[in-house]
């Protein structure tokens, strides 16, 4: 198994995200392992979570040592809608996985937090805010075999390994994810969602699909400049999206 220990990951870091770097072989959730009193860019990483959290109270599961399970501490200034940070995190994860696969512009964001490759979910992002401090958690399915992936009745899932048949170095991927997240987050700090709006629009998985969300049914029209999903003349803040496959 490859290692995500500090000795392996820290030399690969290129920016301020990942410092300090806290690693646990096992923890309940990296969202709670993260030290909320640390500086912006502090990171918590684990090889295994016993109570990994997904959006809407769901579980996030992966066998030990197969995936990236990482949380980053953000201290955004008051004002902007912090839900936008799951889109910012999604963009970083989307670029990371497609670069690793060598498939330029192949990944998409399924609003609000899923990263899709070939219409399968490979990563998810969870932004949990308390008192203005955000724990931005990212889970990327990396080296799971098909049998090790969770059966998700809501949508098909994949790992990088089931996508290209190769095993991937998680430390390299993690360092790349942190560098990209720092870049997207800095752009968002300076220019709001407008700064990443083009990227989001070109990666919008739902646009043009018939969906249901929050009791509304219709064709998804895109993501607006506040990060809301547009459907049937409504702007949706959050919810569970069902879509036609
Ligand atoms: C989702 O798709 O519902 C979001 C999944 C987020 C999972 C990551 S794994 C690292 C971090 N720790 C957690 O408990 N959850 C996030």
Q: Where are the domains of the chain?
A: 6-201, 210-243
Residue by residue, DSSP assigns 174-210 as: HHHHHHHHHHHHHHHHHHGGGGGHHHHHHTBSSTTSE
Residues with CB under 6 A from ligand 1: 29-31, 49, 52-55, 58, 60, 69-71, 113-114, 124-126, 137-139
CA–CA dist 148, 62 (Å, integer): 7
- Asked if the peptide bond before residue 112 counts as cis, ω within 30 degrees of 0, the response is yes
Q: How much of the chain, in percent, has pLDDT values that exceed 90?
A: 90
CA–CA dist 111, 12 (Å, integer): 30
pLDDT on residue 116: 97
pLDDT on residue 153: 64
pTM, full prediction: 0.97
CA of residue 75 to ligand 1 center, whole Å = 19
pLDDT on residue 245: 75
CA–CA dist 17, 59 (Å, integer): 26
Enter the tokens of residue 166.
Answer: 């190769």
pLDDT in tens, 148-203: 999 876 899 999 999 999 999 999 999 999 999 999 999 999 999 999 999 999 99
CA of residue 51 to ligand 1 center, whole Å = 10
- Asked if residues 53 and 59 have their Cβ atoms less than 8 Å apart, the reply is yes
Level-2 CATH architecture, domain 6-201: 2-Layer Sandwich (3.30)
Atom of ligand 1 nearest to the CA of 113: 2
């Amino acid at each position: 198994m490859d290692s995500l220990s500090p000795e392996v990951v820290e030399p690969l870091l290129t920016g301020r995200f990942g410092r300090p770097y806290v690693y646990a072989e096992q923890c309940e959730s990296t969202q709670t392992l993260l030290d909320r009193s640390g500086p912006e860019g502090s990171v918590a990483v684990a090889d295994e979570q016993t109570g990994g959290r997904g959006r809407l109270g769901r579980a996030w599961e992966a066998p030990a040592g197969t995936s990236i399970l990482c949380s980053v501490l953000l201290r955004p200034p008051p004002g902007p809608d912090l839900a936008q940070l799951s889109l910012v995190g999604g963009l970083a994860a989307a670029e990371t996985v497609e670069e690793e696969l060598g498939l330029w512009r192949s990944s998409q964001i399924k609003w609000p937090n899923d990263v899709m490759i070939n219409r399968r979910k490979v990563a998810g992002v969870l932004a949990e805010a308390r008192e203005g401090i955000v724990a931005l958690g990212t889970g990327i399915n990396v080296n799971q075999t098909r049998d090790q992936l969770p059966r998700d009745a809501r949508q098909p899932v994949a790992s990088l390994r089931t996508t290209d048949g190769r095993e991937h170095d998680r430390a390299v991927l993690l360092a790349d994810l942190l560098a990209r997240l720092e870049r997207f987050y800095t752009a968002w700090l300076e220019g709001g969602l407008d700064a990443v709006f083009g990227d989001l629009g070109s990666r919008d998985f739902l646009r043009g699909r018939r969906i249901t969300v929050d009791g509304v049914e219709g064709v998804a029209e895109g993501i607006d400049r506040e990060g809301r999903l547009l459907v049937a003349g409504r702007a949706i803040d959050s919810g569970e999206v069902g879509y036609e496959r």
